[in-house]
Chains A and B, each alone.
Chain A
Amino acid sequence: MRTLWAFFRRDATIHTSYKLGFAMDLLGVFFTAATYYYVAKMFGTAAAPFLSAYGGDYFAFVLIGVAFAAYQNVGLNSFSQSLRQEQFLNTLEPLLVTPVSTPRFLVGSSLWDFLYATARVALYLGVGAAFFGFRLGRSQFAPALAVLVLTLLAFMGLGVFAASFIMRFKRGNPVTWIMEATSNLLGGVLFPLAALPTGLKRAAFFIPMTHALEGLRQTLLMGAGWKEVTPQILWLGVFVLLIWPLGVFTFGRAVRRARADGTLGHY
């Protein structure tokens, strides 16, 4: 815990020391929520046939999508950006001569990003509730929390895998590219999968975002319990069990290769 706390404190201090950027980032949440509110208002009931499974309210649907999709962005980019930053600042070698383990280094260096993303999710929901009539009245928080934890672990695992490419190739990260490109289209962030043709719906099944958002929307908007979101929990659980060993293994190999090549601190 001491190591993780040190990473968190380091990153929180650095991040909040850029006061204007920090304030603008938080203010941006309000403008994003407001934008989708007026988009939803424009649609009115026209989008209802696609949204019946989520209560028919596009604003609630898209707010959950945009708020929680941030976790994918953090998961995919946090490790690799931290790594790039450490390489760029010349702080990677001093860290790697300490006995800190690879998993701790990876989790620690992205801890602030995940907790900050969580604060932004709460802010999205709070702004939605305070200004735009968003309600979580029927929510089932226990299964929602389970889906959220698995979502975080899934995206973190993908991030570790993606960071292997940064360690090895310095620039160019196909994992992030593929996941971001496909999740925006197929993950159900801005529109429900019901709007997609059958072939793309099938492809969407293989995207973690699809199951994460479906589970979160069902529990938070429709009051779905454990039984209803079991398929999403199982899918995400299996994905987590597969991606983490793969990510830690490939990252460990990439570090070893960089130590052999003498490219550990290169960027």
Chain B
Amino acid sequence: MLPLSLEGVTKYFSTASGPRAVLNDVSFDVPAGGLLCLLGPNGSGKTTLLKSIATLLIPDKGRVRLGDRDVHRSLDWARRRIGFASTEDQSFYGRLSGRMNLWFYGQMYGLSSGDFERRLADLDALLDLAGALDRPYRELSSGQKQRFLLARAALHDPAVLILDEPHQNLDPRYAARLRGVIRDRWVGERGKTVIVSTHHLEDAEKISDRWVVLAEGRVRFAGSVAAARAADPHFHLDRFFHQLTEPAA
């Protein structure tokens, strides 16, 4: 079990009008075995932040620490402990079967044949991949492809899972099942540290009480939604979110 902490993470991207801060002094902690929802409107910096944690982007300032290590200074170590599911459900080899796609990524993590088969059986039980494993990836439905994104992220049994919009393309019944897998199995039973990004407030509330809300690259809220609800007798989730994410004047 590993805690994750972000300390002043700042990221600039070049634009025609000069450098633009996509992330601005973002700091928060996720305790070991904790589950956090990352929310924000489109363009708020959620994916950039998740990619920075997953070592795909180097922050211009600040640090991402896993346990006592800076992930960007311990790339190999960190990549063995972080699983990242992006939103790119086309990021597989379409002419290979689902099984072979996962086998290929398993080899990148050095899984032996036995370990791969065990991991695959576990993921099949959790995510219900069986009907899609032996079909060419290009023939799978959007929902099935979404399951493969999650399976790939969890294939090497990482201590930390970073899931970018994991409920996209899923029907309501499977989305509910996935929430259960994340909350009860991965976090509850296995002690993984998980960050789930979404812009669906109802989904987020069903997954975790601990939220970080980003807007314009800044943390606008970090804490317990239940506490916010208890503190305000007139609390309304949509209004709460919209007030937090209103553009700065």
Chain A positions near chain B (C-beta within 8 angstroms): 2-3, 5-6, 9-10, 13-14, 17, 89-91, 93-101, 256, 259-262, 264
Pick the residue among A14, A91, A100, A259 that contacts B91 (CB under 8 A): A91
Chain B residues positioned under 8 Å from A93 (CB to CB): 51, 56, 86, 88, 91
User: How many angstroms between the C-alpha atoms of A94 and B149 in the bound complex?
Assistant: 10
Output the residue of A14, A99, A100, A259 with the most chain B CB within 10 A. Answer: A99
B59 to chain A, nearest CB (A): 9
- Taken residue by residue from 113 to 152, chain B's Cβ proximity to chain A (1 for < 8 Å, 0 otherwise) reads as 0000000000000000000000000000000000000001
Chain B residues positioned under 8 Å from A261 (CB to CB): 13-14
A199 to chain B, nearest CB (A): 45
B91 touches A97 (CB 8 A): no
Scan residues 8-61 of chain B and give those whose CB is less than 8 A from a CB of chain A: 11, 13-14, 48, 51, 54-58, 60
> Does B240 interact with chain A (Cβ within 8 Å)?
no
Closest partner residue, chain A, to B106 (CB atom): A6
A10 touches B108 (CB 8 A): no
- Assuming the contacts A13-B100, A91-B91, A261-B14, asked whether A97 and B58 have C-beta atoms less than 8 A apart, the reply is no
A99 touches B107 (CB 8 A): no
Chain B positions near chain A (C-beta within 8 angstroms): 11, 13-14, 48, 51, 54-58, 60, 75-76, 79-80, 82, 84, 86, 88, 90-96, 100, 103-105, 107-110, 152
- Assuming the contacts A94-B152, A98-B108, A99-B76, asked whether A260 and B56 have C-beta atoms less than 8 A apart, the reply is no
A41 to chain B, nearest CB (A): 42
User: How many angstroms between the C-alpha atoms of A5 and B107 in the bound complex?
Assistant: 9
User: How many angstroms between the C-alpha atoms of A260 and B19 in the bound complex?
Assistant: 13
B56 touches A2 (CB 8 A): no
A89 to chain B, nearest CB (A): 7
A262 touches B57 (CB 8 A): yes
Pick the residue among A2, A89, A97 that contacts B107 (CB under 8 A): A2
Secondary structure class of chain A's binding surface, majority of residues: helix
A145 to chain B, nearest CB (A): 29
Output the residue of B60, B92, B103, B105 with the most chain A CB within 10 A. Answer: B105
User: How many angstroms between the C-alpha atoms of A155 and B218 in the bound complex?
Assistant: 48
Pick the residue among B58, B93, B94, B152 that contacts A10 (CB under 8 A): B93
- Contacts A90-B90, A97-B84, A101-B76 given; 15 further ones with Cβ under 8 A? A6-B104, A9-B100, A89-B93, A91-B92, A91-B93, A93-B91, A95-B108, A97-B55, A97-B56, A97-B82, A98-B108, A259-B58, A262-B13, A262-B51, A264-B57
User: How many angstroms between the C-alpha atoms of A100 and B88 in the bound complex?
Assistant: 20
Closest partner residue, chain A, to B108 (CB atom): A98
A180 to chain B, nearest CB (A): 29
A6 touches B91 (CB 8 A): no
Pick the residue among B51, B58, B76, B96 that contacts A14 (CB under 8 A): B96
User: How many angstroms between the C-alpha atoms of A124 and B147 in the bound complex?
Assistant: 46
Chain B residues positioned under 8 Å from A17 (CB to CB): 95
B52 to chain A, nearest CB (A): 9
User: How many angstroms between the C-alpha atoms of A96 and B84 in the bound complex?
Assistant: 11
Which 8 residue pairs spanning A and B have beta carbons closest together?
A6-B107, A98-B108, A90-B91, A99-B79, A90-B88, A260-B58, A99-B76, A100-B108
B88 touches A99 (CB 8 A): no
Chain B residues positioned under 8 Å from A256 (CB to CB): 58
B105 touches A98 (CB 8 A): yes
